[in-house]
């Protein structure tokens, strides 16, 4: 549970939830889903409490790869919560959990989100993206393979001047915060 001002926010996986079912373990005030005939690979329940009293709840879900909740998959601001869920980033208001915007920021999975000045950097499986405060994509950059490593070593880093991302074949990419690519192309054998 995370404390934001006077509120406590609990985020958890709720993959058994079925829209319209009376048998759901949790009931929600809001359901923020894509319109889709497919099952969502990940759904997250969110509850906001004040003084141990439940104020509101919501569930989010999206099509794409599986995402898990961890330290860099969410951003808590004074009046907003941003959360990676499958291929999208959701922005919900605090405390009422109304959907402010939702942006599909990757073809498959959004792993992490970071605050950068008045915008956000999203580490996705296929794309590195920069979103403005309203969720509009400022730029996106892709690579030759997915932006994750097989050995689990550091595959994404924000430095003062650059975003460093490593792909599945251990090729290292370097983008500035305006989206310009400074990657050393000599590591690509087919060029």
Q: Per residue in 37-66, pLDDT tens? A: 666 668 899 999 999 999 999 999 887 777
Verify cis geometry, omega within 30 degrees of 0, for the bond prior to 4: no
Residue with tokens 């950068």: 116
Question: What's the predicted TM-score (pTM) here?
Answer: 0.91
Q: Is the pLDDT of residue 95 over 90?
A: yes
- Per-residue pLDDT tens for 2-42? 999 999 999 999 988 877 778 888 899 999 987 666 666 68
Return the DSSP state at 185. G
Report the alpha-carbon distance of residue 153 to residue 149 in Å, rounded. Answer: 7
Q: Is the pLDDT of residue 175 over 90?
A: yes
* pLDDT at site 184: 79
Ranking 68-72, 156-160, 172-176 by mean pLDDT, the lowest is 68-72
Query: Do the beta carbons of residue 12 and residue 45 sit within 8 Å?
Result: yes
Query: Do the beta carbons of residue 63 and residue 36 sit within 8 Å?
Result: yes
What is the chain's mean pLDDT, rounded?
A: 90
Quickly list DSSP for 82-131. EEEETTEEEEEETTT--EEEEEE-SSS-EEEEEEETTEEEEEESSEEEEE
Q: Is the pLDDT of residue 99 over 70?
A: yes
Domains (range + CATH), the chain: 2-142 (2.40.10.480), 143-191 (no CATH)
Average pLDDT over residues 149-170: 89
Report the alpha-carbon distance of residue 134 to residue 179 in Å, rounded. Answer: 18
Phi, psi of 90 (to 5 degrees): -105, 140
* pLDDT at site 150: 84
Average pLDDT over residues 151-158: 83
Quickly list DSSP for 8-68. EEEEEE-TT--TT-TT-SS--SEEEE---SSPPSEEEEEEEEETTEEEEEEEEEESSS---
* pLDDT at site 180: 93
Instruction: Considering only residues 136 and 189, tell me which one the structure prediction assigns the higher pLDDT.
Output: 136
> Can you say whether the dihedral through the CA atoms of 28, 34, 37, 41 is positive or negative?
negative
């Amino acid at each position: 549970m995370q404390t934001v001002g006077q509120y406590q926010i609990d985020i958890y996986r709720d993959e058994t939830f079925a829209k319209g079912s009376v048998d759901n373990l949790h009931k929600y005030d809001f359901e923020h889903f894509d319109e889709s005939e497919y099952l969502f690979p990940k759904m997250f329940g969110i509850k906001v409490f004040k003084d141990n009293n439940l104020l509101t709840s919501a569930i989010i879900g999206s099509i794409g790869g599986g995402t898990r909740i961890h330290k860099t998959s969410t951003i808590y601001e004074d009046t907003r919560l941003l959360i990676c869920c499958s291929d999208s980033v959701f922005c919900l208001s605090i405390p009422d959990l109304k959907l402010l915007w939702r942006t599909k920021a990757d073809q498959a999975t959004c792993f992490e989100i970071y605050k950068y000045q008045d915008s956000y950097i999203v580490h996705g499986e296929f794309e590195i993206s920069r979103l403005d405060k309203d969720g509009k994509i400022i730029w996106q950059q892709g690579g030759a393979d997915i932006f994750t490593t097989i050995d689990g070593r550091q595959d994404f880093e924000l430095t003062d001047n650059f975003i460093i991302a490593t792909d599945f074949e251990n090729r290292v990419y370097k983008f500035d915060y305006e989206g310009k690519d400074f990657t050393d192309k000599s590591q690509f054998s087919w060029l």
